[in-house]
C-alpha cells in the first residue's frame, strides 16, 4: 500500500497551529503579562465604570456593549444592532481571546431576560470564557448590577448561576437585592490585610444597594457591607482551574440609589482600577495617595496636549510656521513615554519626577503656542483696527459735513403768500 506523505503546505499549517497554541499557553501562564498593561475585555450594558480604567497606563480596556431593558424601554434602541456589535467584536475562538486579553469583566451584563426574547448572551461565548479561565488562566470579574449574579433585577433578568459559568463563580446568586430599597451600608474588610484595604475607606460614603449572594465554601471573603447587625458579601474571590475569579456586588442607578460612592468619593476611580489590579494579580501600590496624584497628572497631560495642539492647528490656518511647537510636543511625548514605562515598572517616584518636569515643559510649550497664534493673527488685528478706525473716521466726516457744516444744504429766501382779494 502506498503511503501518502503530507504536503509542505499542510506541514506548515500544522506547525503554525502548534506554535500558536504554544504561544497562547505561554502568554496565559503569566496572568500579569510582566510589566505590560492589563488587557481587559469589558462587557457591560451600562456605560459606567470602564472610563475610569482607561485613565490608568497599566490598564488597557476594550468595551463591548450588550442590550438591556433600558436600551429597549427608555432609549428605544434595537437590540439586534447591539447583538451585531457583539458578534463583530467578541473574540470568536478561545485562542483569540487568550491571545489578546488576560481579563474579562462582566458588569451589568445580562445573560437573558424573561421579558424580552431579544436579550440573550450566546452560550458559545460562555463556553469560551469557561475554557479560557480553566485552561489558560484568564481572570474574570463579575461586578454588581440589576442583571448580575442571580438576576432578578428589574424583575426579569435570569441568573448567571444557571449557566456554564455558574460553577466557576465564587458565589451563588440568590436573586434580587439585599434590601428592597437603597439602604446605607458601610464597608467592612473581613481580610484586613488585603491590598484593597489600603484605600481610605473611612472617607468612603455608604454603599446603598447590593446583589443578594451567598459566598461558596472555599471562597475568600475580602469585604462585606454592614447595616446594623446584618452583613452581606461585597468583595470575594477564589481560584478555579488555572484562573482567578473576583466578585463585587454593588448596584447603582436602581431602587432609589443616589450613587453616593461614585459621586462623592475621590478614590472611587482608584478603587475600580485596583479591583482590576487585584483580579489580574498585579501588585497594588503601597502609596495610593502618590499614585492618585500621578493619575491626575497623566490626565492633565492629555488635556494640555489636546489644548496646545488645537491652538497650533488654529495658528497654522493663518499661515504660521508651527514646527517649533510640534517639536516641543514630540519631546514631551517622549518624556511621557518614559514616565509610563516607570509607572508600569512600579517605580512611582521616578514617574512622579518625570511628570513634574513634563508640567514645566507644558508651560513653556503653551507660551510658544500662544506666541505663534498672536504673530499669525497680527495682520488680522492690524486690518481689523484699520477697518474699524476707517469706518469711524468716515462716519465722523459724514456727520460733521451733514449736521454741522451743512454744506449740502443751500440757503433760500423766505416768501409769504398773498391772499387773493
Which residue spans within 250-289 are E strands per DSSP? none
189-235 pLDDT, tens per residue? 999 999 999 999 999 999 999 999 999 999 999 999 999 989 999 99
Chain-centroid distance of CA 184 in Å reads 27
pLDDT at 33: 46
Is a pLDDT exceeding 50 seen at residue 2?
A: no
The total number of residues written for the chain in this structure: 421
Q: Is the pLDDT of residue 154 over 70?
A: no
* Structure confidence by residue, pLDDT tens digits, 256-282: 999 999 999 999 999 999 999 999 999
Tell me, what's the pLDDT at 115? 82
Q: Which CATH architecture has domain 9-279?
A: 3-Layer(aba) Sandwich (3.40)
Give residues with Cβ within 8 angstroms of 132, minimum separation 6: 28, 94, 97, 98, 104, 138, 243
User: Mean of the pLDDT values across residues 93-104?
Assistant: 95
pLDDT in tens, 111-135: 988 888 878 899 999 999 999 999 9
What is the model's pLDDT at position 178? Answer: 93
Residue 351 has pLDDT above 90, yes or no: yes
Measured CA to CA, the distance from residue 170 to residue 91 in angstroms comes to: 24
Strands 230-240 and 220-227: antiparallel
Residue 172 pLDDT > 70: yes
Q: Rounded to an integer, what distance in angstroms lies between the CA atom of residue 126 and that of residue 116?
A: 20
Average pLDDT, the chain: 88
The pLDDT of residue 82 is 81
pLDDT tens, position by position, 25-49: 444 444 444 578 999 999 998 666 8
Kindly state the percentage of the chain with pLDDT values over 70.
Answer: 86
pLDDT value, residue 69:
80
105 strand-pairing partners: 42, 141
Does the structure show a pLDDT above 70 at 408?
no
Rounded Cα distance between 39 and 152, Å, is 31
Instruction: Look at residue 3 and tell me whether its pLDDT is greater than 50.
Output: no
Residue 147 pLDDT > 50 = yes
Q: Which residue has the higher pLDDT, 370 or 32?
A: 370
C-alpha span between 257 and 149 (Å, rounded): 19
Q: Mean pLDDT across the stretch 280-288?
A: 95
Phi, psi of 58 (to 5 degrees): -90, 0
SS3 418: coil
Contact 140, 102 (CB under 8 A): no
Segments of the chain assigned to CATH 3.40.50.880: 9-279
Per-residue pLDDT, 245? 98
Q: What's the confidence (pLDDT) of residue 198?
A: 96
Residue 295 has pLDDT above 90, yes or no: yes
Instruction: Give me the pLDDT at residue 18, please.
Output: 42
| Per-residue model confidence (pLDDT) at position 117 | 81
pLDDT at 374: 92
Q: Is the pLDDT of residue 22 over 60?
A: no
The confidence band for 10, taking pLDDT boundaries of 50, 70 and 90, is very low
Q: Quick one: cell of 123?
A: 452560550
Amino acid at each position: 500500500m502506498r503511503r501518502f506523505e503530507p504536503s509542505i503546505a499542510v506541514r506548515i499549517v500544522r506547525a503554525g497551529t502548534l506554535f500558536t497554541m504554544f504561544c497562547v499557553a505561554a502568554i496565559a501562564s503569566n496572568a500579569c503579562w510582566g510589566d505590560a498593561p492589563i488587557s481587559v475585555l469589558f462587557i457591560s450594558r451600562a456605560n459606567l465604570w470602564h472610563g475610569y480604567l482607561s485613565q490608568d497606563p497599566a490598564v488597557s480596556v476594550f468595551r463591548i456593549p450588550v442590550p438591556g431593558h433600558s436600551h429597549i424601554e427608555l432609549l428605544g434602541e434595537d437590540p439586534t444592532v447591539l447583538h451585531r456589535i457583539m458578534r463583530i467584536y467578541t473574540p470568536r475562538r478561545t485562542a483569540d481571546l487568550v491571545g489578546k486579553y488576560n481579563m474579562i469583566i462582566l458588569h451589568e451584563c445580562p445573560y437573558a431576560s424573561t421579558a424580552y426574547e431579544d436579550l440573550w448572551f450566546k452560550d458559545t461565548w460562555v463556553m469560551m470564557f469557561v475554557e479560557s479561565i480553566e485552561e489558560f488562566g484568564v481572570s474574570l470579574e463579575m461586578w454588581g448590577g440589576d442583571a448580575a449574579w442571580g438576576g432578578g433585577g428589574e424583575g426579569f433578568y435570569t441568573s448567571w448561576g444557571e449557566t456554564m459559568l455558574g460553577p466557576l463563580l465564587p458565589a451563588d446568586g440568590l436573586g434580587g437585592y439585599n434590601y428592597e430599597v437603597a439602604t446605607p451600608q458601610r464597608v467592612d474588610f473581613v481580610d484586613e490585610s488585603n491590598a484593597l484595604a489600603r484605600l481610605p475607606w473611612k472617607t468612603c460614603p455608604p454603599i446603598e444597594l447590593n446583589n443578594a449572594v451567598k459566598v461558596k465554601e472555599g471562597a475568600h471573603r475580602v469585604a462585606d457591607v454592614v447595616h446594623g447587625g446584618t452583613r452581606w458579601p461585597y468583595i470575594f474571590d477564589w481560584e478555579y482551574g488555572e484562573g482567578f475569579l473576583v466578585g463585587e456586588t454593588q448596584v447603582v442607578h436602581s431602587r432609589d440609589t443616589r450613587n453616593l460612592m461614585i459621586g462623592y468619593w475621590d478614590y472611587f476611580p482608584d478603587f475600580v482600577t485596583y479591583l482590576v489590579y487585584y483580579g489580574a494579580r498585579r501588585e497594588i501600590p503601597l502609596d495610593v495617595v502618590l499614585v492618585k496624584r500621578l493619575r491626575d497628572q497623566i490626565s492633565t497631560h492629555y488635556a494640555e496636549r489636546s489644548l496646545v495642539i488645537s491652538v497650533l492647528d488654529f495658528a497654522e490656518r493663518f499661515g504660521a510656521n508651527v514646527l517649533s511647537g510640534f517639536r516641543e510636543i514630540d519631546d514631551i511625548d517622549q518624556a511621557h513615554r518614559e514616565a509610563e514605562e516607570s509607572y508600569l515598572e512600579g517605580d512611582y517616584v521616578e514617574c512622579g519626577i518625570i511628570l513634574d518636569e513634563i508640567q514645566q515643559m507644558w508651560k513653556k510649550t503653551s507660551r510658544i503656542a500662544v506666541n505663534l497664534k498672536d504673530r499669525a493673527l497680527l495682520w488680522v488685528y492690524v486690518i481689523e483696527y484699520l477697518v474699524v478706525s476707517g469706518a469711524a473716521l468716515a462716519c465722523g466726516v459724514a456727520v460733521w459735513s451733514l449736521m454741522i457744516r451743512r454744506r449740502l444744504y443751500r440757503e433760500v429766501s423766505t416768501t409769504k403768500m398773498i391772499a387773493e382779494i
